[in-house]
Structure formats: C-alpha cells, structure tokens
Structure 1
C-alpha cells in the first residue's frame, strides 16, 4: 500500500462530512420503521425526516449490509473467535445493534476511521448513558488515540487507512487476530480514495486475512444521466468518487477483487438484491410504510449502487451472496442495432422544466402542455408550443375556466378539436376524480391569439375509481368515439388492471364486452391507437417489476379482444416511456429498465413482421444529461419521422433534482426508412 503525504486535507474533511449526512438519513429511515435501530439516534443532534425516496435508499443499503453480516455470523457460528473490521466506520451503529440482538458471542468489532471522526464518536458514546451502558468494561475516554474505545467486544480506532504500516500496527496492538475468520466491511468508503489507494487496501486485506469475507457497498454506472448527476454532486462536496470510473459496473468490480487475490467474488446491484434476496412480505411491508410515487428515481438509485462479497478460505465462501435460480430481475444482454438516433435542441430559448406533465397536439401546429411539477412546485398554468414560420415559440398561459394542477394524468386529443384530461394526482394520497374538457380557438383573424378553455365534463354512468399513471386512448367502435382507460394506480392499490369506456358523444361510462388474453395489472405503460383499437406496451407490474409484454386490443363484432403479441427479439422490460404508432411500427422512446446496462433509447417493433430493434440515442448535442422518464412526446409531422421530447427528470436520490431544461427533437427517418432489420 503506498504511503503518500496527504496534499489535500480539506478533501479529507469534506469526506468526513459525508458521514454526518449519512447518519442523519439512516436515523430518518429507522424512525419511519424501515429497520430497527433504536440507539442510532444518539449519534445525531436532531432527528430530521428525509423524503421517502431517501429513506428507501438508506433502507436497502442497511438491509444489504445487515444481510451480509448475518450470513457471515451464521457461517462462522461454531468458531471460537470471529472479527468484524469496519473500514471508515463513521457513526455506524453495528456494534450497538448486535449487542441489542445478543449476537456478539465470540465476536469482536474493530472500527477504523480518521482520528477526528473516531474522537467525535467516542465523545458521543461517552456522553450517552444508553450507549455507554452497552460497553460495561470501558470506563474512560482516551483523548489521544489511536484507540478511543477499547473493550472486550468493541475497539474504536483512529487511523488513516492509507497508511499501511500504521494501520497494521494499530490493529495488532488492538488485538486483531490475522488468522481468525474476519468480515471486512466498507460502506461507501474506499471510493473516496484515489483508486490506487483503494486497490491497495483491497489487496492488503487479501494478503493479511486468509479466512476473510470482504463486504463492499459503493456506486457504479458513472456515465449515464443519473451517474453524471451523482458524480457532479460529490464533486461539489469536494468528495470526488474515484473507483467507479475505473470499475464502472458489477463485472468490473468482481474482476477487481479477483485480481487483488480474493478467491471468489459475487457482486450485484441493489435492484437485484431488493427483488431477489428480500421476501415478498418484506417488500410489501416497505411499500406500506410511506406514500411513495418515485419509482423511476428509486430504481435508478438502486441501479447505481452495488453490494459485493468476496471471500478467502472455505469457511467464508459459505457466506457469499447467492442469487436464486429464478429471479424477477434476470439480466438481459442487449444487442443494439448498428444505427443510432440523434436528438437536437428544439430551439435555443424554450424552457420547459417539469415532470409528470401531459401533452396533446390540439392542432398540427399547436401543442398544449398541462400539469406537472417543476422547480417552483406544481404547475397551475399551461404552456403552448406553437409552430410558426420562424420556428417554434412557447407561451405560458392561464386557461379560462379551471386550472389543471395535477401530475401523471392523461390528456387525449379528441375528434372535433380539443382534448380530454383524466385522472392524475396532487400527492400520492390525493388522486383527482374530475374530468376536464380542453377547447382552443383564435380570438379573431386579426389578432391570432390562442384562447384555451378548460372546463369540467359532467359524465354519467359508473365511473372508474380515481387514478394516475394510467392510459386513456381514443378508440372507435360502431362508428362512435370512446376513451378507453386502462391500468394506473391509486392511493391504496399499487397497480390496477381494470378497463373502462367513456362514450365521448354521450359523456357516459358504458360497458363494452372484452375477451381474449387479458394483460396483467400495471401502471406507467403506453397505449397507442391502432386500427380502431390500440397497442399497449410495458409498464410497472405487481411488486414493482417492469413488464416487457405487448398487447393488441382489436375490435370485434361485439366488442374488443385482447391479443398478446410475441416479437423477436423480446424487448427489455421498461416503464415510464412514451410510444407512438407510425405506419405499421410501434416506436417506444426512453423509459426506465432494470435488466440491462445503459438506459433505454428507442425500440421499434414492426406490428406485421413482429420483429424489433433497439437503437441507442446520441445525446452529444445536448449540453445537459437527458433523462427520458416522466416526460412527454408528440409527433410533429404527418409522416411521423420527427418526435419532440418534452420535460422529464426527477429527484436523483440525495444528489439533487435534475430536469431536462428544454424540449429536444428526435429524427426517426434514418431508421424508419431503413426497413431491412424489421422486415427480415
């Protein structure tokens, strides 16, 4: 391990600050019941409630590390002595949790961190009667270190991990037995070091601990939009994360440990851990703890962190992470078509920063946006994008009549002009049941100002329960127009699978017979008009697992029939995408997936040949990370070769909120004109 004088002590201080933020978030998650850790609150001056997204993120981190610790303790339960060496432990409460669980039999915990952090932690322990009572054989505070706490089961040591000889000497004097079964624990610690130092620590542990298991929780995937926002966040904190650039995925991290002389290694991202190693009951328990509707951000957070176990010796091999033979999230190796599609800024001046909006082409040159939530909160105004000779311009408007303050609603263009707004929510506890009719007109031919009115529709018949993240698609049956509502979610039901028909001429909810192969319940899917019926793709299904199925809803002489469409190759499951039918092609844009590397680009499915291709999107012309989820898209030309993508983004865990700053256009003509991959 290199011994290098620290040239940036300010960076060390910034890194130590990440401990303070982390422990506050862990306390918040514990206070909301995500896990039980009653003594952790004594390491913060005030309990602060974090968002549900942050609580979930720290829950899955806590759960993964706890799972690995319990696996190690189970595998070594017959040993006369076991050790846990926690690197960069900060204010972690592992010793106190195991003490409360009476799980410290033959276990000694060694915690190592910067001397200042260890000194502060020792002072907090010494100032709390409850914490101090768990260490019955420690009755004084060592002010000078390096051992700030020294008892039979717990050693708190202040030493810089980058100083190998000093580290070895401190551990030796503290009583570490190098040949005993040892769990080496590193939770977002080594990545703050330059990679040569973190590699050296990993190799040092492999050389010195012949019966050991290494557990690491860190970041991966630095180069997609979420990863860029994540990196920029830590750079602003003067706490650059290093290792993920050289080891950007789970495969690279696995090879890293094997090349540093660990005998075996298993690594998985946190989506794999959450869906494969937690029980259905546990996942359902977590779902019910807090109102939650940030699935995209949750799954992206989990795809950018991993849990890793590496072992030396036959004993610790038994404690390695193992995936079940059948898992809801199998990894899919994606084959991208040779083509790529590029996006361009729509104009230089447009600014539409929001998520959860709805869009509708009221006229060929008039696009309306309603609802959503941006930097200033929920949008009460609407926005028009108008195509003129000089290009597109936008205008924020106050529609006449009612305001449309809602998220994840639908706005469906209807015959005769205008649109119908249905569903949505103001919060995950407050779905909206009103249905609104949108009309637009010009004031007069001499003053071409667009007037938009939004008024409530009074509909009769048995209405569906209020929902959001559903689809509402225009269908034609017996020469009449219907709005077909499918799926979504409510404040109580996480996924819906019911179907409803609204007669637009009568403004009446009616029953029309449905038969065939019914789709599973879902939300955040897409549904596009097609030959009097529709084609539906993807969505988030029961248990929060993305779906990759395609269904046709086809008109019959008495109603409609569902038919599942089998395409080749099968598409990677995804949700929160948009879709359009162009000719005989279903074009799917963006979304979130869990089962493949990278981020979704464009998928094109020929509905006749039933062949599909996946195409990447070149975003090099866009000066900010382009996040294609919770966004809108509309076709801009009659040929359907140009699509505008509007809004999108969201809360990037605890790294801040990112919104796509401007609409961008996507040119589909290179792929749609080259039909060979779809027709073969």
Structure 2
C-alpha cells in the first residue's frame, strides 16, 4: 500500500471518530446531562450509551462550554469577537449560541474540518428546517472551493488543518479578522496528527491571531495500564494518538503552549475540573441522573483527559481556567520496587470476593467475567507444583453477586454478605459456606435482630469479642445512599444482629475501603467519601472492656488517598495494595504503614515481566504465606471508558519481602536517611480527604 493510500485510510478513520463522538453527545443530552436540542439533527438515530460514557461526554461538554462562556463574558463589550473551531465535526456550538440570543451578539463562528466532513455537515444543515432556519445564507454565494456554508455569523470551511497556509487562505476568504478577540477550539483533534504537525498549528495560531484564547481537550498519561489500553484502542481503529507520547501530562502540555508563542497557559485534568470547577449542586444533579457504579473507570477516564486554555494578548487573560492554589507536598517513595511475576494459572474476574479457608486454600465467589456476570465459585489450591484453580459445584444461593464480601469463619467455613446484581438491585441475606471434598455446601442464614441497610462495596471483618464470633460490617453503598457508615455486628454462631457499645468518633461514611483484623479490633483505611473524593485516613476500632473504641492515627507522611484497594496486616504493618488514586503519573503499588510507628512509605511494583497492563482495582488479594510474604493478586481490571474491557487474565504474585525486611522497615522509621523520590503532581494538606490532600478549596 502506498503512503498516499495509507494516509487516506488514516484520515477516513479519524473522520469516523466524529460520528462516534456525536452519537455519544446525543446520548448524554437525551439523558439530561446537558441541554442541546440541535445535536439530534446530526444523527440518524439516537442510541443510548452506558452511564460511564454519558458522564465522560458530559464533563467534556461542560469543560468546553465553561471556556466558551468565559470567553463570551470577557469579550461582551468588544465591538466584534470570533470563534474558530478546528476539526469541528458535527458540533452544534453555533446553533446553541444562536438559540441563546445575546450569547452570539457581535460574534462570528468559523468551523474548519476535512472537506468530506464539512460537505456532509452542510448537506445535513441544508436539509433540516430547524438548522437552515437559523442561518441567513448569503445570496449569490457560490459553494465552490473550501466554503461549504456562508452566512453573516457562521462559516463552514472544508480544509485539511495540516496545511496551515490553505487554512489561512480560506479564513481570509471569508473575512476572519486577525485583530479581534478570537476563541480557538480544538476537541481531540490535534492528537491525531503527527506531533510536529500539531505543534506547527499551535505556533501558527499564536502568530496568526495575536488576541486569542486557545482551548484544547485531549488525552494524557499514556504509560499506565489505562493509558496503554486507551492507546491500543485508537491503534485498532487506525487513529493513533501522537502528541501525548511527548507531552504526557498537564505540565508538559502547558510548557508546550508556552514554548510555541502563547503568553499564559492553564491545564488541568478532568478530575481537577469536575471536583473543583463544577458546583457541588450540579455534581449532585449529574450523579442522580442514572444508576451508576463505575467509579474506578470514571476517575481513571478523567485522569487521562485534560482541558487547557492558553492566551495571547492581555485582553483574554481573564478567560483562562481558574484553578485553585495548591500546596505541594510529596509522598515518600522507596527506591526499592517490589518484584511481580505472573503465575501459570488462568483466573479472571471483576468485583469478586476472596478469603483463605485454610493454608493454601483460597475461595473465590461472585464477580463478572468475559462471559458476563455470575462467575462460578472457584478454589485456588497450592500444592507442591504451585497454584491451581478448580471449579466447584454450581452455586444455589450465591447467584449473580458483585462487590460483596466473603469472610472466613472458624472451622474452615465462610460467610458471604451483601453485594448487588445491578446498581438498582442489592442482594438480601447472608450465606454460610462450607467446603468439603471439593464442593461447597451453602446454607441461607436466617438472622434475627435489627439488620443493617442492604449494601455493597462494604467490608466485613470477623472479630472475637467476649467469646463470641462477631462479623463487623462497615461502610458501603446501596441504590439510595451514595455512601453508608456506622458499624454493625452479627453474632455468626447465633445468627443474630447485636448491639455492641462503640465509643469515639467513627470514620466518615465511605465505600470501597479496606478493613483488616488488628489486635482484636479492625483497622480501616481509605475509601471513597460522600463528596466523591478518595480518602486517606487510618482509623482503628480498638477492643475495650465493654465494647470497642474508634481511634484515629496520624500517619506521616500521609498516605495518598485511594479506594478500591485491598489491605492486609502483617505484624505491626498495614500493607495497602493497588486501588485508584487521582493526579498521579503512576498507579498505586504497595503502601506500607507502621501501625505502631505511624510512618508510611510507597513502593512501586516492578511489572516488567507482566505481559499485559496490570490493573489493580476491582481485584482481590490474599496474603497466603506470611513467613514468605507472598501476596497473591487475583482478577481485576475494568471497563476502560469506550476503549473496551480489560481483564487481568492470570494470577499474579508480589514479593513483599523488600518492603517488610529490616532495611525497608528502617526506612519507615528514619525517612531522613534515604533519598525520597516524589511525583511532582502530588499535593497535600493536613486533612485526609482528597480535596485537602490536593489543596482544593471549597467548590
């Protein structure tokens, strides 16, 4: 195939991203995420997308709309202002602004895209009474050359953006004014070009329009597991992402624009934008529109996209994104990376639960796999030859169950509690599970007493108190409550919910946290809080003569807030594994916290021998050999926005010895004696919510 044919094929694929994008925007608008009655005229049929995709396109629409409104407000007293949309596709911006009346006063909109795209758009506009009626088409204009639509306030131009001289010539043909304030929009456009070509456009715009605001929405962070899946998707559809390799984070993108002739630049990822620049009431409205339980994928999607504003000339400086001041304080990173290796055992699944029934016996229940929800229960067995996975007889009581808990009990059994079938259908009741002769015996538990609200994404820890085996249930969420709190005790032997006195200030409500048995009580860490932000606090439920008492410990340096992780206690150390955190160029590895010393350190995972992206959320882990410090990672992965679902296909083993050995423990006790490596994007305050950790003010 010649280079010309290859380029034409790539151009066609890039143009196809417009069709996919407009369908997703129409879906989000139809579900009430934003108001846009004009998008529907650019599609043949409205198709409903998944809630995760609707949310993703909402935050994109909201960010760009925020920048457009800011520009129009700052320039409201100017005699003339312009909007230049690069790679506009089937965007409906002109029609929305036109319907808004005053928003388009003294403004002209210019849209530029591939000739094939603009000809299709012009035909759709011309054949639709609503759209055509909003244009005062100029009489006598011949639609030849690059001009596809010409009116007093709207021009649609078919030009390849990679040829800036042709773009400039077409814009001058329709009398774009270089000397008036101009907003330049670019939504996931330049990244499809070779990096030098996109850099040339950024520099050209700075020269050609000296009084302008450039707004760009694109991808970042290509090297972590989500970023790798994202890149593979665009490669498969023949639309590779280019510039993010060289400009892989928000700071690099900001420096890119400053080096290409722009005076000021602000760049934030979409987690920053959503949590700090959208009012709390609006976030609550959006979160109430559809049942939703894909928090990990939502935060990772937002972590991998950014909104940027860059200005030329002093007039448009107030149009820049307003970003709250932050305080920079680093995590403590060990120079040691923990070895990771895959095991030749195929086990995959999301949102499973696991527990050790005995040494070398791990029970897996519930979750979803490639075949869908309702994965069968399995046993992982460790023999002389290593680990094997065996199925068990079909479940009669467990059924489809996601985000539940399974907790081992004395005598080799376990209790399965909570979970959900769907975000609208929590699961009632508890199931007692026994293991005999390679099969599971299940018994529905009939419990008396005042039961807690149904829930999922909770924790359930077995305690021994006054000779009783108590299942301590904490946190979670359900179909009506975004987070749950409190603490509930089930007498497992009597199958009765009991009240146990608990003193002290309980941790704030949360879900997707961890809770581990520690010194007869429970240590709770992290989770997702009521504000939709990861938490990083550590609280211990300590046994007392008459009951228990909550006691918060101040770990220094503060561990990074995270959720959807797992945790284990090894001696006096809390081992926190994986999870989701925000604003990092890496993903969580292993955090080691001394519960007696109140010191912490982060350890990266050496995944160089793992032949696939290792996603450590919606997974299970078991500390199967405390002496050898072998940590088994089971399942995990996620639905990576619209890029496909990734499953970790194998068992993975992590060697914790370097983290808990004497030299590493000394690092925890004397942080000043080692070189500390930091992530430049981490910011921290003295509180432990994400907003405080990253220096956010009240939104």
In the TM superposition, what is the alpha-carbon distance from 1:400 to its structure 2 partner?
Answer: 5.8
Structure 1 207/287 Cα, relative in aligned 2: closer, same or farther at 3 Å? same
Tell me which residue corresponds to 2:82.
83
The alpha-carbon deviation at position 332 of structure 1 amounts to 5.6
CA contact (8 A) 1:253 1:267 kept: yes
1:592 matched residue in structure 2? 580
C-alpha distance in 2 between matches for 1:600 and 1:494? 24
The count of corresponding residues between Structure 1 and Structure 2 is: 665
Q: Tell which deviates more after alignment, 378-387 or 508-517.
A: 378-387
After superposition, the C-alpha distances for 1:125-161 in whole angstroms (9 at most, x for unaligned) are: 0111111111133579965331100101100000011
Residue 577 of structure 2 is aligned to residue 578 of structure 1: no
Unaligned runs of 5+ in 1: 443-449
Tell me the residue number matched to 2:536. 548
Q: SS where residue 9 of structure 1 aligns? A: helix
Q: CA deviation at 1:650?
A: 0.9
Matches within 5 A, 1:207-246: 207-246=207-246
1:498-550 per-residue CA deviation (whole Å, 9 max, x = no partner) reads 21000112110000011112100000000000011011100000121000000
Contact 1:552 1:564 in 2 (8 A): yes
Q: Which residue of 1 aligns with 2:552?
A: 564
* Aligned match of 1:58: 57
Give the match's secondary structure for 1:544: coil
What residue in structure 2 maps to residue 679 of structure 1? 669
CA distance in 2, matches of 1:13, 1:141: 29
TM-aligned CA deviation for residue 55 of structure 1: 0.3
C-alpha displacement of 1:452: 1.1
Secondary structure of the corresponding residue to residue 456 of structure 2: coil
C-alpha change, 1:577 and 1:145, in structure 2 (3 Å) is: same
Structure 2 residue 408 is the aligned partner of structure 1 residue 420: no
The residue number in structure 2 matching 1:157 is: 157
Distance 2:140 2:575 in 1: 69
What is the CA-CA distance between 1:172 and the residue it aligns to? 0.2
Contact 1:474 1:529 in 2 (8 A): yes
- Tell me, in whole angstroms, the C-alpha distance in 2 between the residues paired with 1:640 and 1:144: 75
Structure-2 residue corresponding to 1:482: 470
CA distance in 2, matches of 1:362, 1:143: 75
Distance 2:475 2:247 in 1: 40
Q: Which residue of 2 aligns with 1:261?
A: 261
Partner of 1:470: 458
Secondary structure of 2:333's aligned partner: coil
Specify the alignment match of 2:247 in structure 1: 247
Task: Name the residue aligned to 2:331.
Answer: 334
Aligned equivalents of 1:332, 1:87: Cα separation in 2: 38
Cα distance, 1:305–1:586 mapped onto 2, change above 3 Å:
same
TM-score where L is the length of structure 1: 0.96
CA distance in structure 2 between the partners assigned to 1:138 and 1:25 by the alignment? 33
Aligned to 2:427: 432
Cα distance in 2 between the residues matched to 1:218 and 1:434: 46
Which whole-Å CA distance do the structure 1 matches of 2:96 and 2:226 have between them?
Answer: 33
Kept in 2: contact 1:578–1:590 (CA 8 A)? yes
Aligned to 1:508: 496
Residue of structure 2 equivalent to 1:493: 481
Verify the 8 A CA contact 2:368 2:375 in the aligned structure 1.
no
- Kept in 1, the 8 Å contact 2:331–2:558? The answer is no
Task: State the alpha-carbon separation in 1 of the partners of residues 67 and 139 from structure 2.
Answer: 32
Deviations 1:325-354 (A, max 9, x none): 47xxx77643421111021112x2x22221
Unaligned runs of 5+ in 2: 671-699
1:286-344 Cα shifts (integer Å, max 9, x gaps): 01000000000000000000000000111110100012347xxx776434211110211
Distance 2:142 2:96 in 1: 23
Q: Does 1:379 align with 2:369?
A: no
The answer as to whether partners of 1:381 and 1:403 remain within 8 angstroms in 2 is no
Distance in 2, Cα, partners of 1:593 & 1:16:
34
C-alpha contact 1:473 1:483 (8 A) present in aligned 2: yes
Is the contact made by 2:117 and 2:158 (CA closer than 8 Å) also made in structure 1? yes
**d(CA) in 1 for partners of 2:524 and 2:336?**
25
1:113-132 equivalent positions in 2, closer than 5 A? 113-132=113-132
CA contact (8 A) 1:86 1:186 kept: yes
**1:399 touches 1:454 (CA, 8 Å); kept in 2?**
no
Alignment of 1:387-398 (within 5 A): 387-398=382-393
Q: Distance in 2 between matches of 1:400 and 1:231?
A: 39
Q: Answer yes or no: is 1:279 the counterpart of 2:279.
A: yes
* Cα distance between partner residues in 1 of 2:227 and 2:99: 37
Change in 2 beyond 3 A, CA 1:139/1:409: farther
Deviations 1:102-136 (A, max 9, x none): 11101100000000000000000011111111113
CA displacement at 1:598 relative to structure 2: 1.1
Take 1:490 and 1:126, find their aligned partners in 2: how far apart are those partners? 49
Distance 1:213 1:138, change over 3 A: same
Q: Which residue of 1 aligns with 2:136?
A: 136
SS of the equivalent of 2:476 reads coil
